Chains A and B, each alone.
Chain A
Amino acid sequence: MRNQKHTAIPFWRDERVLQVLGQVAFAAAVIFFFYILIQNMVTGLQRQGTTLGFSFLQGTAGFDIAETSITYSRTSTYAQAFLVGLLNTLQVSFVGIILSTILGIILGVARLSSNLLVRNLSAAYLELMRNLSLLVFLIFWYLAVFLKLPRVAEAVIWPGQIHLTNRGVGLPWGLPTETFETYRWVLWAGLAAAALVALVLHYIGKRTGKPPLTALWALLTFAAFAVVGWFVLPGAPLTLDYPSVQGLNMVGGKVVSPEFMALLSGLVLYTAAFIGEVVRAGLQAVSKGQVEAARAIGLTGFQTLRLVVFPQAMRVIVPPLTSQYLNLTKNSSLAIAVGFPDMFYVSNTILNQSGRAVEMISLVMLTYLTFSLVTSWFMNWYNQRAQLVER
């Protein structure tokens, strides 16, 4: 009796069966939901005589884009227009990440400064930025700062011929001369030498147990090549080209559009505040005992920072830092508010001109998802590596 009872639990009370049933019901509900949505869309599109597909990307774009890093004209295809936008996104994200990291580290360190004024200034900045809406800030930054710069004819000229106008910021820029080709080879050689130095030092460090300043020496090697090459060559490889006002716009030098400037600086100023917090938390996470122990075994202040504090802080800093980088990249889609042709904005234009809402929105989402997947791949790789260091 008892035995039978044990084996014959009715299946509606068997937890395992219930779990399976529940999951199947859940999956069925989800599938059903999406099925309905897609069914609706397909019938809707059919009725209008349109179908889904990406072949339209081969069509002629017809519109111009102001800022392109590849050859593009109105006769190019939609796909090329999308690529232009993608490259613009990558460009603004890449530069933005570098600049916001630098500013963020300064802010984070300043936040822990022993100087009262510096500490509070940094705190006030972080507090100010973190409570602003990025979109409002970007619009303010673009409309109320960059577009309020003087008009081209009344350009403000800063030392070094930096032109400030509401058509853009003109910067002096290097123009390659005939020796530039050779110089490029010199730079490659410098890079190779720097890599060699780094390898050798790394090897020595492993043998002797005294970690040398690998990065510093490698950098110095490269710099030495660059400087010596510059003066040894018969003529300077680059000449400085200064911007000047001519007609309607600036010519010469490098003219950076106000849209790009506003987006980049807005993103940097905003993200740096968050990175500053990350850096501060990371530095504070290293316990005081570690520093005291390092000093006790005779490390200097700099050595303590380099060999004890920094590696441990990095383990705390890197994960949230990566997600801030990802945020910056995703936030660059707000370019639409300041008129900078990033991927999202160009896709929006393509969507408008071709009417392909479903395809374009899916394409944009997939691209951003790829960014995020690559980032989390990097994160996993780093975490594994950081764990190895721990051992």
Chain B
Amino acid sequence: MSKKFYPLFGLLIVAALVLAACGGAPAASGDASEPATADTAAPADDAAPAPAAQTAAQGETLAAVVARGYLVCGANNQVPGFGYVDADGNFSGVDVDYCRALAAAIFGDADAVEFRPVTAPERFTALQSGEIDVLSRNTTWTLTRDTELAGNFTATTFYDGQGLMVPSATGFTTLEDLAGGSVCVQTGTTTELNLADAFAAAGISYSPVVFEDADSTFAAYSEGRCDAVTTDKSGLVSRRSVLADPSAHDILDVTLSKEPLGPMVRHGDDQWFDIAQWTVFALIAAEEYGITSANVDQVKASNTDPQINRLLGNEGELGAKLGLSNEWAYNVIKLAGNYGEIYNRNLGPDTPTYIPRGYNSIYTEGGLLFAPPFN
């Protein structure tokens, strides 16, 4: 290359860089223009261009979901009763039914949802990147996840506590019995941290055996690799039901931590957060008012209670405030059932994964489930 080309070379590089910078601009502005296409559903007061990064996504999620025609829900596929996929590829569980309820709220069709099994490590990235619209995968509400992991937790759908399961033959009853033993635990979970905290607080030495997924964790436990296995108590009950001999394992009467489990959505889209949140409340309120999928039509037709009328869309414009149809909650109850129905379907006494309702009862029955007023 002769020297006279050097200036040309430099010029071209500069030109290329300018080009690259210009090329970058449409990509950046593409983000901003997306809310504009969301005018079908976005509330009018947000139509103005919003340069602040935090609010740029307002209304975007619902618009994207509506445009796509179905909801994408990040779910578990290894925990019977919460999120499980059977040999035919059917999903079932409380967390799965929540997604169906959400789909019913948006589309009036509980099947307009695609379940995407996500592993514990990838669940937050999947949510952050928009690969899934909502994460409903027995995820514990913690401060770090609420802030640093850029998520918003809706109302809790299952109040849980972390427990320990041991083979009955060992006769263990307390944490201290496990001194010097090993505990199987799944990575990427709050469980891993709580376990360390609990044993440190009790001043007991132990050795954690950490696995990548629930299947491996419980496989190692059932082979006797560990003296105990730990996860949320609901998870222990559910996994115990698929052990070779469920009666040969005891869940210790020790609670290592509070585990409020609930759906999680991205930071930055308040409208979507409201929809996800109030779908949970609709499920809870329906049980409180005694509305079930079986009687919802009858209640809707003959009811006089204004609270219920507003919930079912006979009165007021509550649905429109969320960017949904006014019959959204009616659809939820009709197609997915109320909270109690969902619970009984997956965790009730007739299921192999029976868990007594305990905290997860309506507040009138001594539980923690409490829906704010539908006004």
The stretch from B19-27, B230-238, B293-301 touching chain A is B19-27
Interchain CA distance A46-B210 in the complex, whole Å: 33
Chain A residue at minimum C-beta to C-beta distance from B206: A64
Chain B residues with CB under 8 Å of A65's CB are 208
Cβ–Cβ contact A48 & B128, under 8 A:
yes
Chain A residues with CB under 8 Å of B188's CB are 348-349, 351-353
- Whether, in the assembled complex, A336 has its beta carbon less than 8 Å from a beta carbon of chain B, the answer is yes
A28-B16, A50-B148 given; A43·B210 CB < 8 A: no
- Whether, in the assembled complex, A53 has its beta carbon less than 8 Å from a beta carbon of chain B, the answer is no
Cβ–Cβ contact B223 & A352, under 8 A:
no
Interface residues of A in 310-363 (CB under 8 A from B): 336-337, 339, 341, 345, 348-349, 351-355, 357
- Whether, in the assembled complex, B197 has its beta carbon less than 8 Å from a beta carbon of chain A, the answer is yes
Minimum CB–CB distance from B130 to chain A (whole Å) comes to 8
Chain A residues with CB under 8 Å of B56's CB are 47
Chain A residue at minimum C-beta to C-beta distance from B52: A47
Cβ–Cβ contact A47 & B57, under 8 A:
yes
Q: Interface 1/0s, chain A 35-52, versus B by CB < 8 A?
A: 110011001101111100
A66-B210, A151-B224 given; A352·B187 CB < 8 A: yes
Cβ–Cβ contact A62 & B193, under 8 A:
yes
Chain A residues with CB under 8 Å of B247's CB are none
The residue from B1, B2, B129 contacting A44, defined by CB atoms under 8 A apart: B129
Using a CB–CB cutoff of 8 Å, the interface residues on chain A facing chain B are: 16-17, 19-21, 24-25, 27-28, 31-32, 35-36, 39-40, 43-44, 46-50, 62-66, 73-74, 143, 147-148, 151, 166-167, 247-249, 258-259, 336-337, 339, 341, 345, 348-349, 351-355, 357
Cβ–Cβ contact A62 & B148, under 8 A:
no
A348-B187, A355-B124 given; A147·B207 CB < 8 A: no
- Whether, in the assembled complex, B249 has its beta carbon less than 8 Å from a beta carbon of chain A, the answer is no
The stretch from B5-13, B77-85, B271-279 touching chain A is B5-13
Chain B residue at minimum C-beta to C-beta distance from A32: B20
Chain A residues with CB under 8 Å of B5's CB are 16-17, 20
Which of B125, B187, B196 gathers the greatest number of chain A CB atoms within 10 Å? B187
Chain B residue at minimum C-beta to C-beta distance from A153: B224
Chain B residue at minimum C-beta to C-beta distance from A249: B180
- Whether, in the assembled complex, B267 has its beta carbon less than 8 Å from a beta carbon of chain A, the answer is yes
15 A–B contact pairs at CB < 8 A? A21-B12, A32-B19, A32-B24, A39-B28, A44-B129, A46-B53, A47-B56, A47-B268, A48-B266, A48-B267, A49-B53, A74-B193, A248-B181, A349-B188, A355-B144
- Whether, in the assembled complex, B209 has its beta carbon less than 8 Å from a beta carbon of chain A, the answer is yes
- Whether, in the assembled complex, B39 has its beta carbon less than 8 Å from a beta carbon of chain A, the answer is no
Interchain CA distance A314-B219 in the complex, whole Å: 45
- Whether, in the assembled complex, B149 has its beta carbon less than 8 Å from a beta carbon of chain A, the answer is yes
Which of B9, B124, B193 gathers the greatest number of chain A CB atoms within 10 Å? B193
A339-B210, A339-B211, A339-B216 given; A16·B2 CB < 8 A: yes
- Whether, in the assembled complex, B212 has its beta carbon less than 8 Å from a beta carbon of chain A, the answer is yes
Chain B residue at minimum C-beta to C-beta distance from A151: B224
A46-B53, A339-B220, A355-B124 given; A74·B197 CB < 8 A: yes
Cβ–Cβ contact A143 & B223, under 8 A:
yes
- Whether, in the assembled complex, B192 has its beta carbon less than 8 Å from a beta carbon of chain A, the answer is yes
Which of under 10, 10 to 19, 20 to 34, or 35 or more describes the interface residues of B?
35 or more
Chain B residues with CB under 8 Å of A147's CB are 220, 223-225
Cβ–Cβ contact A24 & B16, under 8 A:
yes
Interchain CA distance A357-B123 in the complex, whole Å: 11
Cβ–Cβ contact A167 & B268, under 8 A:
no
A20-B1, A50-B150 given; A248·B227 CB < 8 A: yes
Cβ–Cβ contact B210 & A349, under 8 A:
yes
Chain A residue at minimum C-beta to C-beta distance from B19: A28
Chain B residues with CB under 8 Å of A66's CB are 182, 207-210
Cβ–Cβ contact A35 & B20, under 8 A:
yes
Chain A residue at minimum C-beta to C-beta distance from B130: A44
Which of B21, B125, B148, B189 gathers the greatest number of chain A CB atoms within 10 Å? B148
Which of B20, B21, B192 gathers the greatest number of chain A CB atoms within 10 Å? B20
- Whether, in the assembled complex, B90 has its beta carbon less than 8 Å from a beta carbon of chain A, the answer is no
Chain B residues with CB under 8 Å of A43's CB are 28, 31, 53
Cβ–Cβ contact A248 & B196, under 8 A:
no
Minimum CB–CB distance from A120 to chain B (whole Å) comes to 36
- Whether, in the assembled complex, B308 has its beta carbon less than 8 Å from a beta carbon of chain A, the answer is no
- Whether, in the assembled complex, B17 has its beta carbon less than 8 Å from a beta carbon of chain A, the answer is yes
Chain A residues with CB under 8 Å of B189's CB are 352
The 4 closest A-B pairs by CB, nearest first: A352-B188, A28-B16, A48-B150, A248-B181
Cβ–Cβ contact B148 & A354, under 8 A:
yes
Chain A residues with CB under 8 Å of B367's CB are none
- Whether, in the assembled complex, B54 has its beta carbon less than 8 Å from a beta carbon of chain A, the answer is yes
